[in-house]
Every structure is written in structure tokens, then in C-alpha cells.
Amino acid sequence: MALVLFIQAFFLGDGGINALGANVLNMAVLGAGAGGAIMLVMQARGISKNISIGMAAFISVVLTALLCTVEVASSDSINFGIMLKSMMSVYVLIAGVEGILTVALYHILSKVLSRAQGHVLSLRLALCCLIALAFLPFASHLPDGLDNVSTHIKDIL
């Protein structure tokens, strides 16, 4: 996750280099850690793998948005309530899509990787990375969730 955030910051300008430390803490450490813990607890309680994975992805995104809200609001530059309402209105939707995509990608990758062994597995993983890099120039130029929230908050103020 930290590598993905690094690539996004340096190659796409997403999140920015100045925010990379906060993004790694929020998303790669706390968000992913909480998501993994949630998934394990849900599966231990007999909840299906699909629901566990989807809910873990959903909750990790919402948690990350909440952490960002606390950090931004603690700077006294914006009211916590306004920031929370704006962030959740955007990130709950993003989290829903993230949950669905995570379950879909899990199934796709588990099928691809389960058939591969040894060097074939390495080649398939390298191919997945190359395909992802090939799509990098086609990344959306639309504002991300935080940019959307920032614009919305400027309109409110």
C-alpha cells in the first residue's frame, strides 16, 4: 500500500509529496491494518469471505477519511462538523465502490494466481504490474475525493 501511495504521489500528483507521510500512516498502516483485522474477525464469526472482504475494504476507506478529517480539523482551519459531513458524503460512496471492486479483484487474482507456481507466478505478477503501469497515463484527471471535499467546503465558507 505504501508503494501504491508513493507511485500516486510521484507519478500522478495524487495526495502530493508533502502529504505522503500522513497518507501512508492513514491508509497503509491504520486503514489497511484495521481492514485486515475486520476481515479476520468477521470470518472468525462465520461471515462469508465475500462479505468480510467487501466490508473490510468499505470500513478501511471510511476510517481513513475519518482520520484525515480529524487531522485537517485539528489544524483549526475548518470546523470539524463541516469537514466530517463533507468527507463522509463523498467517501461513503467511494468506500462502496472500493468494497465491490476489492471483492471482484480478489476473485480475479485468486483464480489467476492459484493456477501459477514458481517462476510462472512471478511472470504473472510481473505482467499484472506491467499492465497496471500501461494504464497509468489513462488515470482520471478528475479531482479525487479530498479535492472534491475541499471545493465543496470553499463553496460553504
Q: H/E/C letters for each residue in 37-106? A: HHHHHHHHCCCCHHHHHHHHHHHHHHHHHHHHHHHHHCCCCCCHHHHHHHHHHHHHHHHHHHHHHHHHHH
What pLDDT, on a 0 to 100 scale, did the predictor assign at position 155?
64
User: Taking the model in full, what pTM does it have?
Assistant: 0.77
User: What does the pLDDT look like over 69-118, one tens digit per residue?
Assistant: 998 888 887 889 988 998 999 999 999 999 999 999 898 888 777 776 66
pLDDT band at 154 (very low <50, low <70, confident <90, very high): low
